[in-house]
Chain A
Amino acid sequence: MQASAIGPAEEPSSILWGLDPIFSAFARLYVRDILQMTESTQVPGIYFYNSHPINKVDILGTVVYKRERDDFFCYGVDDGTGVINCLCWKSDAFKEEDHSVREKHSVEAYGNFNLVTELRKLRQAQKERSCLDIGEVLRVRGWVKTSRQQREIMGSTYYKVNDPVMAVQIAWMMEVPRLYRECYNKTIQLNPTATGDSSVSMFSKATNIIKDFFKQKMVTRFRPYDIQDLLQPLVFSQPQKAPEDQPVAGLSACQQLHQLLKKVLEDLQNEGVIYRRVKSQDEVYDVTVQDKDLLLAVKDVISQDSKREKHAEKGCHILHILSAVRQRHSLNVSRAALELVLKSLECSSDIVSTSDSHYTVF
């Protein structure tokens, strides 16, 4: 019977595929499952087994068919559940064979070790590992491709397995069902469907949007309604359960927007990105690193106090700078805000840090 086929509507979005660890691994599927996997409707070349996106596989089986061309081998591999063609490109070792044969035998000046002969033997061994006959056991790792409506494996790594007492094949037969039970047959939830998750990601998106806006427009000062519009698309593009229930179900879009804005402003204040120089009825925020007066105040504090004997050797401690700036500039400067300012001043080489929390001016 077939492995559960996945309908196009059930396919997880391609942006989430990287979250599935199996996607990055060479999956040890049975050839039967590889042949029956459904191809993705989003990205051709990617296949699905039980809602896992697969594009690379690892198989072990007996060679039952062989076709050789100048550049590649095409081996039909049978693992007991199905047979699949594996395209195995020949390595350069094959093409260099003629040269090595014609090479003159160099003098055995280094005792029994002749580099040329050894290299030739190495190339020969490499050739032997990739040239197989029918009945031999082959291991192939490669990408799944569909060519001329036939599924194939484009081998990236392949080699002959020496398995005289079937130890490797037996171990494989015991391991693969275990892998299926533990990984491949377990459905993975790739969609963050819980509302909690989506609100967290929306919040971080919102914070990033605001931060980018500050940087691009070199904003020095703003009021909340100035940036409210930026967050509108986030709130209004949220997937609605059913438009009819909208007014009934919890908060309206406007209230959501307000809440989001409040949260973002709070978070940005805690990070020190913004601060309120003057706390009044009028809700005005200053963007820390763009506030020229603040930068100047901090620089002045450090340059003046560094001259004093007390701070001459080590520089000014950050807490000292903080209390001085609070007296001089604004009581609402937080430590986080000050740290951002100090970092910015250091980047422009206006001040120098002498230790983890000491600063001075040369």
Chain B
Amino acid sequence: MLPAAAVFHFPWEINSGAVKDGESVRTFGRLVCYQPEESRATLSAHHAANEHTVVIHTLFVEPFNPILGAQYLVLGEIENAEEVDVRVQARVLNCIDGVNVALLQKAINEQRSFFRERECTQDGVAQPGDAT
């Protein structure tokens, strides 16, 4: 049936464990390495003077044309297996080279602050328990 909605997360949030195992995410980064025999790609993003990498399992999106150094958008589920680091099981991998990363970040933050704002107003206004 329909998969779960993939919420936008930043690459540095994925590795820090902010996202639970099995959750669907959408993230982006520059392709720094690709190992076709292991179906493994690594995306990297720069933030707060640090380089953050996300490992992608590309089995379901192969074959794709890997352009090293290009920006990619990945959509998939988080896998938090014990022996390996956090990685994303990709369902969608699109090359978005040329994207304005700063603007994309701004848009994601804008959306987040809107949802936070909305949740606050709803929790603030005493909602009568709606028996649906």
Contact = CB atoms under 8 A, between A and B. Distances in A.
Interface of A: 1-5, 7, 31-32, 38, 62, 64-65, 76, 78-85, 134-135, 164-167, 170, 173-174, 176-177, 180-181, 185
A253 B4 CA distance: 60
Given A62-B75, A78-B6, A166-B96, A177 B122 contact: no
B96 to A, nearest CB: 5
A1 B106 CA distance: 23
Contacts of A78: 3, 5-6, 75
Contacts of B130: 5, 7
A181 B117 CA distance: 10
A62 B26 CA distance: 11
A135 B94 contact: yes
A41 B92 CA distance: 40
9 contacts: A1-B123, A3-B122, A38-B132, A62-B6, A80-B6, A135-B61, A135-B91, A135-B94, A170-B99
B92 A166 contact: no
Contact of B5 (A81, A181, A185): A81
A191 B92 CA distance: 48
A174 B112 CA distance: 11
Interface of B: 2-8, 26, 61, 73, 75, 91-100, 103-104, 106-108, 110-111, 113-114, 118-119, 122-123, 125, 127, 130, 132
Main secondary structure of the interface of A (DSSP, over half): mixed
B7 A80 contact: yes
Contacts of B114: 177, 180-181
Given A83-B3, A165-B97, A173 B75 contact: no
Given A1-B122, A4-B122, A166-B104, A83 B2 contact: yes
Given A5-B132, A31-B5, A64 B104 contact: no
B100 A165 contact: yes
A323 to B, nearest CB: 68
Contacts of A176: 111
B53 to A, nearest CB: 21
